[in-house]
Structure 1
Amino acid sequence: MPKLKIFVGTMYGGALDVAEQVQPLFEDAGYAVEIHDQPTLDDLVDSPTDLALFCVSTTGSGDIPGNLVPFVRDLEARSPGLNELRYGLIALGDSSYVDSYCGAGRALDETLQGQGATRLGERLEIDAMETFMADDAAVPWVEEWIASQQLKVA
Protein backbone atom coordinates (compact mmCIF):
# COMPACT_ATOMS: atom_id res chain seq x y z
CA MET A 1 0.00 0.00 0.00
CA PRO A 2 1.50 3.37 -0.99
CA LYS A 3 2.12 5.94 1.72
CA LEU A 4 0.80 9.50 1.84
CA LYS A 5 2.30 11.82 4.41
CA ILE A 6 0.45 14.97 5.37
CA PHE A 7 2.72 17.68 6.76
CA VAL A 8 0.95 20.33 8.84
CA GLY A 9 2.00 23.88 9.62
CA THR A 10 -0.48 25.51 12.00
CA MET A 11 -0.80 27.99 14.85
CA TYR A 12 -4.38 27.52 15.99
CA GLY A 13 -5.23 24.10 14.57
CA GLY A 14 -7.02 25.04 11.34
CA ALA A 15 -4.51 23.33 9.07
CA LEU A 16 -4.48 20.24 11.31
CA ASP A 17 -8.27 20.10 11.09
CA VAL A 18 -8.00 20.18 7.29
CA ALA A 19 -5.47 17.33 7.38
CA GLU A 20 -7.72 15.23 9.59
CA GLN A 21 -10.77 15.91 7.40
CA VAL A 22 -9.05 14.89 4.15
CA GLN A 23 -7.27 11.83 5.58
CA PRO A 24 -10.22 9.46 4.93
CA LEU A 25 -10.36 10.56 1.29
CA PHE A 26 -6.82 9.33 0.77
CA GLU A 27 -7.44 6.15 2.74
CA ASP A 28 -10.44 5.46 0.48
CA ALA A 29 -8.14 6.04 -2.51
CA GLY A 30 -5.80 3.29 -1.26
CA TYR A 31 -3.14 5.10 0.79
CA ALA A 32 -1.72 4.48 4.21
CA VAL A 33 -1.83 7.99 5.68
CA GLU A 34 0.44 9.57 8.27
CA ILE A 35 -0.22 13.07 9.62
CA HIS A 36 2.83 14.93 10.91
CA ASP A 37 1.81 17.90 13.04
CA GLN A 38 5.35 18.41 14.40
CA PRO A 39 7.15 17.52 11.17
CA THR A 40 10.86 17.10 10.77
CA LEU A 41 12.78 16.80 7.54
CA ASP A 42 13.60 13.23 8.55
CA ASP A 43 9.86 12.45 8.42
CA LEU A 44 10.02 13.29 4.73
CA VAL A 45 13.35 11.88 3.63
CA ASP A 46 14.21 8.96 5.95
CA SER A 47 11.35 6.66 4.98
CA PRO A 48 9.48 6.21 1.72
CA THR A 49 7.05 8.98 0.85
CA ASP A 50 5.04 8.06 -2.22
CA LEU A 51 3.00 11.26 -2.07
CA ALA A 52 2.95 14.28 0.25
CA LEU A 53 0.34 16.86 1.06
CA PHE A 54 1.27 20.06 2.86
CA CYS A 55 -1.45 21.87 4.82
CA VAL A 56 0.00 25.21 5.86
CA SER A 57 -1.52 28.24 7.51
CA THR A 58 0.10 31.67 7.42
CA THR A 59 0.91 33.67 10.53
CA GLY A 60 2.03 37.23 11.16
CA SER A 61 3.32 38.89 8.02
CA GLY A 62 3.28 35.82 5.82
CA ASP A 63 5.34 33.73 8.23
CA ILE A 64 5.68 29.97 8.49
CA PRO A 65 3.88 28.64 11.61
CA GLY A 66 6.21 27.84 14.51
CA ASN A 67 5.70 24.07 14.36
CA LEU A 68 6.90 24.01 10.73
CA VAL A 69 9.89 26.36 11.09
CA PRO A 70 12.45 23.63 11.98
CA PHE A 71 11.30 21.55 8.99
CA VAL A 72 11.70 24.48 6.58
CA ARG A 73 15.07 25.54 8.05
CA ASP A 74 16.42 22.00 7.71
CA LEU A 75 15.04 21.75 4.19
CA GLU A 76 16.85 24.92 3.18
CA ALA A 77 20.07 24.08 5.07
CA ARG A 78 20.43 20.43 4.08
CA SER A 79 19.24 20.79 0.50
CA PRO A 80 18.33 17.11 0.34
CA GLY A 81 17.21 17.19 -3.27
CA LEU A 82 13.63 16.04 -3.62
CA ASN A 83 13.52 15.06 -7.29
CA GLU A 84 11.34 12.02 -6.55
CA LEU A 85 8.81 13.85 -4.37
CA ARG A 86 5.31 14.44 -5.73
CA TYR A 87 3.15 16.69 -3.60
CA GLY A 88 0.09 18.86 -3.22
CA LEU A 89 -0.26 21.99 -1.16
CA ILE A 90 -3.15 23.59 0.68
CA ALA A 91 -2.39 27.11 1.90
CA LEU A 92 -4.61 28.84 4.43
CA GLY A 93 -4.60 32.60 4.70
CA ASP A 94 -6.57 35.79 5.13
CA SER A 95 -6.85 38.07 2.11
CA SER A 96 -7.25 41.13 4.34
CA TYR A 97 -3.47 40.79 4.73
CA VAL A 98 -3.00 41.65 1.08
CA ASP A 99 0.79 41.48 0.80
CA SER A 100 1.21 38.32 2.87
CA TYR A 101 -1.90 36.36 1.86
CA CYS A 102 -1.04 32.63 1.98
CA GLY A 103 2.59 33.69 2.26
CA ALA A 104 3.74 30.63 4.21
CA GLY A 105 2.21 28.19 1.73
CA ARG A 106 3.56 30.09 -1.25
CA ALA A 107 7.06 30.24 0.26
CA LEU A 108 7.05 26.52 1.10
CA ASP A 109 5.83 25.70 -2.40
CA GLU A 110 8.72 27.68 -3.88
CA THR A 111 11.23 25.98 -1.55
CA LEU A 112 9.97 22.50 -2.41
CA GLN A 113 10.14 23.20 -6.14
CA GLY A 114 13.63 24.62 -5.65
CA GLN A 115 14.60 21.25 -4.19
CA GLY A 116 13.33 19.50 -7.33
CA ALA A 117 9.97 18.32 -5.96
CA THR A 118 7.02 18.21 -8.36
CA ARG A 119 3.71 19.78 -7.35
CA LEU A 120 0.79 17.90 -8.85
CA GLY A 121 -1.90 20.32 -10.00
CA GLU A 122 -2.51 23.77 -8.65
CA ARG A 123 -1.99 24.90 -5.08
CA LEU A 124 -5.23 25.45 -3.16
CA GLU A 125 -5.41 28.78 -1.37
CA ILE A 126 -8.21 29.07 1.18
CA ASP A 127 -9.23 32.58 2.20
CA ALA A 128 -10.53 32.92 5.77
CA MET A 129 -12.44 36.01 4.62
CA GLU A 130 -14.53 33.83 2.28
CA THR A 131 -14.51 30.37 3.88
CA PHE A 132 -15.22 30.06 7.58
CA MET A 133 -14.45 26.32 7.77
CA ALA A 134 -11.36 25.59 5.69
CA ASP A 135 -12.33 21.95 5.18
CA ASP A 136 -15.41 23.15 3.27
CA ALA A 137 -12.99 24.15 0.51
CA ALA A 138 -10.33 21.50 1.11
CA VAL A 139 -12.48 18.37 0.92
CA PRO A 140 -13.88 19.00 -2.60
CA TRP A 141 -10.44 20.16 -3.78
CA VAL A 142 -8.82 16.92 -2.53
CA GLU A 143 -11.56 14.84 -4.15
CA GLU A 144 -10.89 16.61 -7.46
CA TRP A 145 -7.11 16.44 -6.95
CA ILE A 146 -7.20 12.68 -6.43
CA ALA A 147 -9.35 12.26 -9.58
CA SER A 148 -7.55 14.74 -11.87
CA GLN A 149 -4.07 13.51 -10.92
CA GLN A 150 -5.17 9.86 -11.15
CA LEU A 151 -3.98 9.19 -7.61
CA LYS A 152 -6.46 6.48 -6.73
CA VAL A 153 -4.68 3.16 -6.22
CA ALA A 154 -7.38 1.04 -4.62
Structure 2
Amino acid sequence: MPTLKIFVGTVYGGALDVAEQVKPLFEQAGYEVSIYDQPTLDDLVGSPTDLALFCVSTTGSGDYPGNLVPFTRAIVDDGPDLSELRYGLIALGDSSYGDTFCGAGRSLDALLSEHGAYRLGERLEVDAMETFMADDAALPWAEAWIDEENLQVA
Protein backbone atom coordinates (compact mmCIF):
# COMPACT_ATOMS: atom_id res chain seq x y z
CA MET A 1 0.00 0.00 0.00
CA PRO A 2 1.45 3.41 -0.94
CA THR A 3 2.13 5.91 1.82
CA LEU A 4 1.01 9.49 2.25
CA LYS A 5 2.84 11.50 4.86
CA ILE A 6 1.10 14.65 6.05
CA PHE A 7 3.51 17.19 7.54
CA VAL A 8 1.94 19.84 9.76
CA GLY A 9 3.17 23.28 10.71
CA THR A 10 0.75 24.82 13.19
CA VAL A 11 0.53 27.34 16.01
CA TYR A 12 -3.03 27.02 17.30
CA GLY A 13 -3.98 23.65 15.79
CA GLY A 14 -5.80 24.79 12.65
CA ALA A 15 -3.38 23.10 10.25
CA LEU A 16 -3.46 19.91 12.33
CA ASP A 17 -7.26 19.96 12.15
CA VAL A 18 -7.04 20.24 8.36
CA ALA A 19 -4.64 17.28 8.25
CA GLU A 20 -6.97 15.16 10.38
CA GLN A 21 -9.98 16.13 8.25
CA VAL A 22 -8.37 15.23 4.89
CA LYS A 23 -6.73 12.01 6.14
CA PRO A 24 -9.83 9.82 5.52
CA LEU A 25 -10.05 11.00 1.91
CA PHE A 26 -6.58 9.65 1.23
CA GLU A 27 -7.26 6.44 3.15
CA GLN A 28 -10.31 5.91 0.92
CA ALA A 29 -8.07 6.56 -2.09
CA GLY A 30 -5.84 3.66 -1.00
CA TYR A 31 -3.05 5.26 1.03
CA GLU A 32 -1.58 4.40 4.37
CA VAL A 33 -1.59 7.86 5.98
CA SER A 34 0.64 9.19 8.75
CA ILE A 35 0.43 12.67 10.24
CA TYR A 36 3.59 14.33 11.57
CA ASP A 37 2.86 17.27 13.88
CA GLN A 38 6.49 17.53 15.03
CA PRO A 39 8.09 16.72 11.68
CA THR A 40 11.77 15.99 11.23
CA LEU A 41 13.76 15.66 8.02
CA ASP A 42 14.18 11.95 8.82
CA ASP A 43 10.37 11.60 8.73
CA LEU A 44 10.53 12.76 5.13
CA VAL A 45 13.67 11.05 3.83
CA GLY A 46 14.34 8.25 6.35
CA SER A 47 11.74 5.91 4.84
CA PRO A 48 9.96 5.85 1.49
CA THR A 49 7.46 8.64 0.92
CA ASP A 50 5.18 7.92 -2.01
CA LEU A 51 3.34 11.20 -1.61
CA ALA A 52 3.53 14.10 0.85
CA LEU A 53 1.03 16.73 1.84
CA PHE A 54 2.09 19.81 3.79
CA CYS A 55 -0.51 21.65 5.90
CA VAL A 56 1.17 24.83 7.04
CA SER A 57 -0.09 27.90 8.87
CA THR A 58 1.76 31.19 8.93
CA THR A 59 2.69 33.06 12.08
CA GLY A 60 4.15 36.50 12.74
CA SER A 61 5.30 38.29 9.60
CA GLY A 62 5.14 35.31 7.25
CA ASP A 63 7.11 33.00 9.52
CA TYR A 64 7.06 29.24 9.96
CA PRO A 65 5.27 27.93 13.05
CA GLY A 66 7.72 26.89 15.77
CA ASN A 67 7.07 23.17 15.31
CA LEU A 68 8.16 23.39 11.64
CA VAL A 69 11.34 25.44 12.13
CA PRO A 70 13.68 22.47 12.89
CA PHE A 71 12.32 20.64 9.80
CA THR A 72 12.90 23.56 7.44
CA ARG A 73 16.27 24.37 9.00
CA ALA A 74 17.37 20.76 8.43
CA ILE A 75 16.43 21.01 4.75
CA VAL A 76 18.48 24.21 4.42
CA ASP A 77 21.46 22.83 6.40
CA ASP A 78 21.53 19.26 5.03
CA GLY A 79 20.55 20.06 1.44
CA PRO A 80 18.83 16.73 0.72
CA ASP A 81 18.02 15.67 -2.84
CA LEU A 82 14.22 15.66 -2.90
CA SER A 83 13.86 14.96 -6.63
CA GLU A 84 11.83 11.80 -5.91
CA LEU A 85 9.31 13.69 -3.77
CA ARG A 86 5.84 14.44 -5.11
CA TYR A 87 3.80 16.70 -2.85
CA GLY A 88 0.83 18.98 -2.34
CA LEU A 89 0.57 22.00 -0.12
CA ILE A 90 -2.20 23.63 1.87
CA ALA A 91 -1.18 27.04 3.22
CA LEU A 92 -3.20 28.80 5.90
CA GLY A 93 -2.95 32.54 6.39
CA ASP A 94 -4.72 35.83 6.93
CA SER A 95 -4.84 38.30 4.05
CA SER A 96 -5.00 41.24 6.47
CA TYR A 97 -1.23 40.70 6.85
CA GLY A 98 -0.73 41.84 3.24
CA ASP A 99 2.50 40.71 1.59
CA THR A 100 3.18 38.03 4.20
CA PHE A 101 -0.16 36.25 3.57
CA CYS A 102 0.51 32.48 3.56
CA GLY A 103 4.22 33.33 3.82
CA ALA A 104 5.19 30.07 5.53
CA GLY A 105 3.44 27.94 2.92
CA ARG A 106 4.92 29.94 0.06
CA SER A 107 8.41 29.75 1.59
CA LEU A 108 8.14 26.02 2.16
CA ASP A 109 6.92 25.50 -1.40
CA ALA A 110 9.96 27.37 -2.73
CA LEU A 111 12.33 25.50 -0.39
CA LEU A 112 11.03 22.09 -1.46
CA SER A 113 11.26 23.08 -5.12
CA GLU A 114 14.85 24.31 -4.67
CA HIS A 115 15.76 20.82 -3.48
CA GLY A 116 14.14 19.11 -6.46
CA ALA A 117 10.71 18.19 -5.09
CA TYR A 118 7.78 18.30 -7.52
CA ARG A 119 4.50 19.87 -6.48
CA LEU A 120 1.45 18.21 -7.99
CA GLY A 121 -1.24 20.73 -8.89
CA GLU A 122 -1.75 24.15 -7.40
CA ARG A 123 -1.05 25.18 -3.82
CA LEU A 124 -4.20 25.86 -1.82
CA GLU A 125 -4.09 29.15 0.08
CA VAL A 126 -6.81 29.47 2.72
CA ASP A 127 -7.59 32.99 3.89
CA ALA A 128 -8.84 33.21 7.48
CA MET A 129 -10.54 36.49 6.53
CA GLU A 130 -12.79 34.61 4.08
CA THR A 131 -12.94 31.05 5.41
CA PHE A 132 -13.67 30.59 9.11
CA MET A 133 -13.02 26.82 9.11
CA ALA A 134 -10.02 25.98 6.92
CA ASP A 135 -11.28 22.45 6.29
CA ASP A 136 -14.26 23.99 4.42
CA ALA A 137 -11.73 24.88 1.71
CA ALA A 138 -9.29 22.00 2.25
CA LEU A 139 -11.73 19.09 1.87
CA PRO A 140 -13.00 20.04 -1.62
CA TRP A 141 -9.43 20.89 -2.67
CA ALA A 142 -8.15 17.48 -1.48
CA GLU A 143 -10.97 15.66 -3.30
CA ALA A 144 -10.18 17.56 -6.49
CA TRP A 145 -6.42 17.02 -6.03
CA ILE A 146 -6.88 13.26 -5.73
CA ASP A 147 -9.04 13.25 -8.85
CA GLU A 148 -7.11 15.72 -11.02
CA GLU A 149 -3.69 14.24 -10.22
CA ASN A 150 -4.91 10.63 -10.60
CA LEU A 151 -3.84 9.78 -7.05
CA GLN A 152 -6.51 7.11 -6.51
CA VAL A 153 -4.81 3.75 -5.93
CA ALA A 154 -7.55 1.68 -4.26
User: Shared topology, TM-score over 0.5?
Assistant: yes
Q: How does 1:77-88 map to 2 (within 5 A)?
A: 77-88=77-88
Determine if the alignment matches structure 1 residue 61 to structure 2 residue 36: no
Consecutive unaligned residues in structure 1, runs of 5 or more: none
RMSD of aligned alpha carbons = 0.2
Structure-1 residue corresponding to 2:74: 74
Sequence identity percentage: 76
Structure-2 residue corresponding to 1:113: 113
Q: How does 1:18-97 map to 2 (within 5 A)?
A: 18-97=18-97
Structure-2 residue corresponding to 1:150: 150
Question: Given the two structures, how large is their TM-score scaled by the length of structure 1?
Answer: 1.00
Structure 2 SS opposite 1:76: helix
Cα distance, 1:19 vs structure 2 = 0.0
Structure-2 residue corresponding to 1:128: 128
Consecutive unaligned residues in structure 2, runs of 5 or more: none
Q: Distance in 2 between matches of 1:109 and 1:77?
A: 17
- Aligned residue pairs total 154
Structure 2 SS opposite 1:130: coil
CA deviation map 1:80-101 (0-9, x unaligned): 1100000000000000000100
Q: Distance in 2 between matches of 1:76 and 1:115?
A: 9
Q: Distance in 2 between matches of 1:136 and 1:117?
A: 27
Report the AA paired with residue 68 of structure 1. Answer: L
Question: Given the two structures, how large is their TM-score scaled by the length of structure 2?
Answer: 1.00
Structure-1 residue corresponding to 2:12: 12
Deviating beyond 6 angstroms after TM superposition, the runs of 4 or more aligned structure 1 residues are none
